[in-house]
Chains A and B, each alone.
Chain A
Amino acid sequence: MADTKNLLAFEKPLLPLFAKIEELKKVQDTGKLDMTEEIKMVEKRIEVMRREIFGKLTPIQIVQLARHIQRPNTLDYINLIFTDAVELHGDRNYADDPALVGCMAKLDGKSVMVIGHQKGHTTKEMLKRNFGMANPEGYRKALRLMRIAQRAGKPIISLVDTPGAYCGLGAEERGQAEAIAKNLREMAALTVPFITVITGEGGSGGALGIGLGNRVLMMEYSIYSVISPEGCASILFRDASRSGEAAVASKLLAKDLLELNVIDEIIKEPVGGAHNAYAPAAQAVKASILKNLEELNKLSPRELIADRYRKFRKMGIFIEV
């Protein structure tokens, strides 16, 4: 059943229906009356209303969905999609970064390396994982793992869900910019199939730092942008409260990015969003990864590099006078 505690403002019209179901269930539990039909009816109404609400979401509402505290994280997907996972830790230089995780795992019985941001679902976990904002050691760990995959000839799957790379004192001291830049350069040279899925928040350089896949897929209610709507509003509009407008102007939704050819595919989410239905959401992600992987598996190492280069080389819109 739905997690009514974490309903977003625009989902609030559903509340009375959820309350109704609770009521009916209580009656049902007394064993005096059979409410199964009634419950089913209300559930249907919820479904209908949800479809209606989710059919006309505004960009900033999608931003809220992308950031939902219950939105599945990388480790959730690893549990739901992959098997035999062994999490690998540390960049072998400085530390292990809990904000960016990585596992050796199997996908339908075949070995893959999975890396991704991990935000967490509770305050405690979010603090431990720095809300999914990785430090340089996170990006360096990611690169280490990608290179292991390359040596082993195994595909790489990266799952992106971060507000951005961490903007702290230590991050600067240890070379946040260099860590991301180096990842960009090295990812371009990977000789194995590489798929990136934007699962939640694709926050700027912090997202791109693990995001140079041969295919970049985006979940329906995820976002990908150069700056957060709030940052954009405060810098460009000089008014942080205008994030709604900024979200519209920045074109950060999956459909916008598909139109701009920045991403290759949109992964449909269950009605109500991935956080309402982990298993179907994960299955959709899995199906999309498998389909794309099958295509990429046909390419030679050299072709994979060329394919990735072509993809990013053509990005940019300008005129020649």
Chain B
Amino acid sequence: MAKISISEWFSKNKQAAKPIETERLEIPDNLWVKCPSCRAAIYAKDLKSNFKVCTKCNYHFKLSSRERIELLADAGSFIELDSNLRATDFLDFKDTAPYKKRIEDSILKTGINDAIICGSCLVSGIETELGVMDFSFMGGSMGSVVGEKITRLIERGIEKKAPVITVTTSGGARMQEGIMSLMQMAKTSAALQRLREYGVPYIVILTDPTTGGTTASFAMLGDVHLAEPGALIGFAGPRVIEQTIRQKLPPGFQRSEFLLEHGMVDVVVQRKELKDTLTKVLRFFVE
């Protein structure tokens, strides 16, 4: 297996990369991107070559699941699995729009079928089972499809004795699926219990934001927890907590560094070092 550095590989794939996510900060021609954190205008190419991290303030822009896979998996090694699973509106749930329509719209908008992409891949030559969530699909919410795909990912990990990696970004459970979304917490956690019994390692990479039912299940059950700098990670969202305690939250509350300090995260890793650190962790287990 030929090894190339991440930056080399990133530049190689520049043409193939999707347009940069600019949120509401679109600037004509996508030449410049405004950093949502420090408001500095960054040259889009610089942002790209810096792993979509602000060159001025180190703000880590959100990555799509495809971009994340490009970052972590060895080039060409990722084989997507279970992409045929689709959400269904079994409760006939309608809020401001019917759930059925939300699913269809999200598939069209994001080009992916639900809030997670799962598959087998090599990470620095090590066989792994990788599941990457995508915040752009209904806020990365966990419904039956996300729960099932993660469970199957874990089961493949058991079968192949391959380390399981999840990259999390999620607003929590998918409310449009009611109680069934809550049950996905039980299902994924129970599967992780089996993974543990089989002695297969499980690594979680927490990215911005990871909250709610996702955090309270498979995102907090890793043998090792890596987190990107400044990522919001928590059980309840900050707004809910502020409403509950009726006071402003201290700066940095629920950010990766806060979780590190409080013992919930092993390492806060800069994105450009993420693959290297992940590789070292994987090697600890497999070599």
Q: Which A residues are within 8 Å of any B CB, using their own CB?
A: 165-169, 171-178, 180-182, 184-186, 188-189, 204-205, 208-209, 211-212, 224-227, 232, 235-238, 249-252, 256-257, 260, 262, 308-309, 312-313, 315-321
Contacts and interface: CB of A to CB of B under 8 A. Distances in A.
Contacts of B234: 172, 177
A226 B87 CA distance: 17
Given A176-B235, A208-B186, A320 B264 contact: no
B217 interface: yes
Interface string B142-153: 011101100100
A180 B244 CA distance: 19
Contact of B235 (A167, A184, A249): A167
20 contacts: A167-B235, A169-B253, A171-B235, A175-B264, A176-B235, A177-B219, A185-B189, A185-B196, A188-B189, A189-B193, A189-B197, A236-B96, A250-B178, A252-B179, A262-B183, A315-B147, A316-B147, A316-B183, A317-B177, A318-B144
A312 to B, nearest CB: 5
A90 to B, nearest CB: 20
A205 B93 contact: no
A249 B86 contact: no
Nearest to B88: A319
Nearest to A184: B189
B192 to A, nearest CB: 6
Contact of A172 (B144, B175, B213, B235): B235
Contacts of A204: 173, 182, 213
A226 B175 CA distance: 7
B147 A168 contact: no
A226 B262 contact: no
A178 B218 CA distance: 9
A313 B184 CA distance: 9
B20 interface: no
A307 B57 CA distance: 52
Contacts of A237: 95-96
B262 A175 contact: yes
Nearest to A236: B95
A89 to B, nearest CB: 24
A186 B193 contact: yes
A175 B236 CA distance: 11
Interface of B: 84-88, 90-91, 93-96, 143-145, 147-148, 151, 173, 175-187, 189-194, 196-197, 212-213, 215-221, 234-236, 240-241, 244-245, 249, 253-254, 262-264
Contacts of B221: 181-182, 185
Given A205-B216, A236-B95, A317-B90, 6 more contacts: A176-B236, A181-B218, A185-B221, A315-B180, A316-B184, A317-B88
B215 A188 contact: no
Given A171-B235, A249-B94, A317-B88, A181 B182 contact: no
B264 A184 contact: no
Contacts of A317: 88, 90, 144, 177, 180
A175 B240 CA distance: 16
A33 B218 CA distance: 70
Contacts of B187: 312-313, 315-316
A169 B190 contact: no
A78 B215 CA distance: 33
Given A172-B241, A251-B178, A180 B216 contact: yes
Contacts of A209: 216
A188 B194 CA distance: 9
Nearest to A314: B187
Nearest to B93: A249
Contacts of A252: 178-179
